[in-house]
Amino acid sequence: MANEMNRRAFVKGTLLSSTSLALALNSPAAEAPKPSPTPTPTKDAMPKGKIGKLEISRLILGGNLLTHFTHSRDLKYVYSLAAHYNTDEKILETLAQAEAHGINCVSMHNPPHPMSLLRRYRKERGGKIQWIICPTAPIEPGLAQYRQMVEDLIKDGCEAIYLWGVRGDALVAEKKLDLVAQAVELPKQFGVPSGVGAHSLDVVKACEQNGVKADFYIKTFHHHSYPTGPKPEQLTAPYSEFPGYWCKNPQETADFMKSVKKPWIAFKTMAAGAIPPKQAFRHAFNNGADFVLAGMFDFEIAEDVKLAKETLAGVAGRERPWLA
């Protein structure tokens, strides 16, 4: 009889559990996951600077992890790993985390799907994060394709535009400064700040020496004191042979930027993850950068913001004045 009762209790419990599970699965709440709520903003504001009329947090969210364009050296699986982790919902959550911690700007190039997520974040989540975007259209005489991309970005509400560093490096190497100048002037026709991106310091030098009227620069900047940093013999190679995450000449960059009277956004400051954020931020801000553009996963944002605030509060021995 005891065994019979145990069997009955087991069957009854199983049926009840199955019924509860079925009800739960069929309930409206189970049909689709609800968006995560926007985190509550932190009390201590992130320090800001200005580019034109735009007020921008000193730490800017980089778009490489959102667009999945990670620099992972010879670790080929990392690209796929980032793409699997940063789902559409995770990207929207990351943008919200950034805003909640005082980062009010994101910068990236403009692949269609990530751009659609930026639009969704504004429209569906009420996001206010500003965009600094580099169009990837070719820079050719007449700027037909480039103009179309710029106009589309302006219609979307993009707050600032800059010449993609890949394009800037190539145009300067080919001595096509006229096209650089035209590309910089185009966004200004629409009343938005227009800058120049560069991996090579030659780009900034050429723009300054030839009167290209950039409103700001986005230039790679990191030290070489890490295990996989460039070796002396590699520094003599043409810049085209350098990985995109390298700053070939950090001291020369810091020295030259002292003469540049325009805001400077430093990027690749961690050399694609090889340099810890604390070191990277200190090196960038102490050596003249006005802003740091950093790619961050959602779980890194709070700590990186904390480190950036601590670094900014303790900046010492800076020779280049704040220009934003």
Domain 48-313 -> CATH class: alpha beta
Residue pLDDT tens, the chain, 324 long: 444 444 344 334 443 334 443 434 344 443 444 454 455 555 578 999 999 999 999 999 998 888 877 777 778 888 888 889 999 999 999 999 999 999 999 999 999 999 999 999 999 999 999 999 999 999 999 999 999 999 999 999 999 999 999 999 999 999 999 999 999 999 999 999 999 999 999 999 999 999 999 999 999 999 999 988 888 888 888 777 777 778 999 999 999 999 999 999 999 999 988 999 999 999 999 999 999 999 999 999 999 999 999 999 999 889 999 999
- pLDDT at 9 (0 to 100): 43
Report, in angstroms and rounded to the nearest whole number, the Rg of the chain calculated over CA atoms.
Answer: 24
Contact 125, 96 (CB under 8 A): yes
Q: What is the pLDDT of residue 242?
A: 76
> What is residue 40's predicted lDDT score, i.e. its pLDDT?
55
Reading the block at residue 244, the tokens are 């995109």
In whole angstroms, what is the distance from residue 226 CA to residue 210 CA?
A: 35
pLDDT at 27: 41
CA end-to-end span of the chain: 84
Residue 217, phi-psi category: left (phi > 0), alpha (psi -120 to 50), beta (remainder): beta
* Residues whose CB is less than 8 angstroms from the CB of residue 292 and which lie 6 or more positions away in sequence, other chains included: 58, 59, 60, 265, 266, 267, 269, 280, 281, 284, 285, 308
Instruction: Please return the burial class of 205, using the count of CB atoms within 10 Å of its CB with bins 0-12, 13-18 and 19+.
Output: middle
Q: What is the pLDDT of residue 233?
A: 84
Q: Which pLDDT belongs to residue 33?
A: 45
Pairwise CA distance, residues 293 & 296, whole Å: 10
Strand partners, 163: 196
C-alpha distances in Å from residue 97, one per residue of 93, 156, 187, 299, 309: 6, 22, 29, 9, 16
CA 319 to chain centre: 26
pLDDT at 26: 44
Single pTM value for the model:
0.86
pLDDT reported for residue 72: 76
Q: What share of the chain is helix, strand, coil (3-state, %, to 5)?
A: 50, 15, 40
Strands (E), the chain: 48-51, 54-57, 59-62, 105-109, 130-134, 160-163, 194-198, 216-220, 264-267, 291-295
Give the three-state DSSP class for 238: coil
Residue 185, Cα to own-chain centre: how many angstroms? 23
Does an H or E element contain 189, and which?
Answer: none
Our CA angle for 79, 273, 203, nearest 5°, is: 95
Quote the tokens at residue 214.
């950039």
Instruction: Say what the pLDDT of residue 29 is.
Output: 43
